[in-house]
Amino acid sequence: VDVPIEGVFVDYAESVSGAGGIPVTIPRSADAAALVDRLDGLLLSGGEDVHPSRYGAEPGPNATQHDPGRDAFEIALIHAALDMSLPILAICRGVQILNVALGGTLVPHLGIRDGFDHSTTDEPRGTRRHGIVIEPGCLLASALGNEISQDNRARVNSFHHQAIDAPGTGLTTVARADDGTIEAVEDAGRGILGVQWHPEMHDGIDPLFTWFIQFAAEHSADRRGTP
């Protein structure tokens, strides 16, 4: 089903402001390039499935609602942000649309893998339901800091039935679930980090938002020539 879906989850705004940033909600009618030029970073949020036609697939029986207009607008935002070298934090659907915008593909439906359902929603939103293994020395590892154990593991929540299949151009896989599902990708040199979980739902201000706001502030100062 293709429908326009408008809405804002306050968790994202509260996480950005709690980390020291000023959240700006972007209207879909805006000119992507003109608007991105006034931003210091781009946060891509969760939501409905990316339309499968964007990555060469057909809608399947497990597809949720699609919003082709949102897909098109967010892809335009992504390319505008890349052209201006803005840092990007992409969350859940956000990392999926980022991947598709860069030529990658998605797993249309994960189903049950090794007895685990990534899309289960019958627990509190902040429940860290499963572990992930993180590549040592990556941007994600640096951002998470002491949330990572000595064996390079962390725990995250899980509310998705899709995931990255083939990473897009420039993206490197830096975290996987125990069943092999890609949980995070990054382009460290460009300040791009995408995660499949929802850090805005974790208790307190998640360190990913602290990293994002600090990185965006430093990038803004360099780009605008301010101290």
What pLDDT is stored for residue 59 in this prediction? 81
The answer on pLDDT for 95 being more than 50 is yes
5 within some domain: no
| pTM of the entire predicted model | 0.90
158 lies in which domain range?
Answer: 10-224
- Phi, psi for residue 115 in degrees, rounded to 5: 80, 10
What pLDDT is stored for residue 120 in this prediction? 67
Decide which of 203 and 75 is more confident. 75
pLDDT above 70 coverage of the chain, percent: 88
Structural domains counted in the chain: 1
What pLDDT is stored for residue 61 in this prediction? 73
77 within some domain: yes
CATH number for the domain spanning 57: value is 3.40.50.880
121 within some domain: yes
What pLDDT is stored for residue 1 in this prediction? 46
pLDDT tens, position by position, 13-51? 999 999 999 999 888 877 888 989 999 999 999 989 999
Query: Would you place residue 10 in the very low, low, confident or very high pLDDT band (cuts 50, 70, 90)?
Result: confident
> What contacts 72, CB < 8 A, 6 or more positions away?
none
Q: Provide DSSP, the chain.
A: -B-------HHHHHHHHHTT----PPPTTS-HHHHHTT-S-EEE---SBPPGGGGT----TT---B-HHHHHHHHHHHHHHHHTT--EEEETHHHHHHHHHTT--EES---EETTEETT--SS-TT---EEEEE-TTSHHHHHHGGGS-TTSEEEE----S-EESS--TT-EEEEEETTS-EEEEEEGGGTEEEESS-GGGSSS--HHHHHHHHHHHHHHHHHHT--
Task: Please compute the mean of the pLDDT values over residues 209-213 and round it to a whole number.
Answer: 98
Q: Could you list the active site residues?
A: 92, 198, 200
Query: Would you place residue 60 in the very low, low, confident or very high pLDDT band (cuts 50, 70, 90)?
Result: confident
Q: What's the alpha-carbon Rg for the chain, to the nearest Å?
A: 17
1 within some domain: no
150 within some domain: yes
The answer on pLDDT for 108 being more than 60 is yes
pLDDT tens, position by position, 138-189? 999 999 999 999 999 999 988 778 899 999 999 999 999 999 999 999 999 9
Tally the C-alpha atoms within 13 A of residue 191's C-alpha that lie toward its C-beta.
24
What pLDDT is stored for residue 115 in this prediction? 60
4 within some domain: no
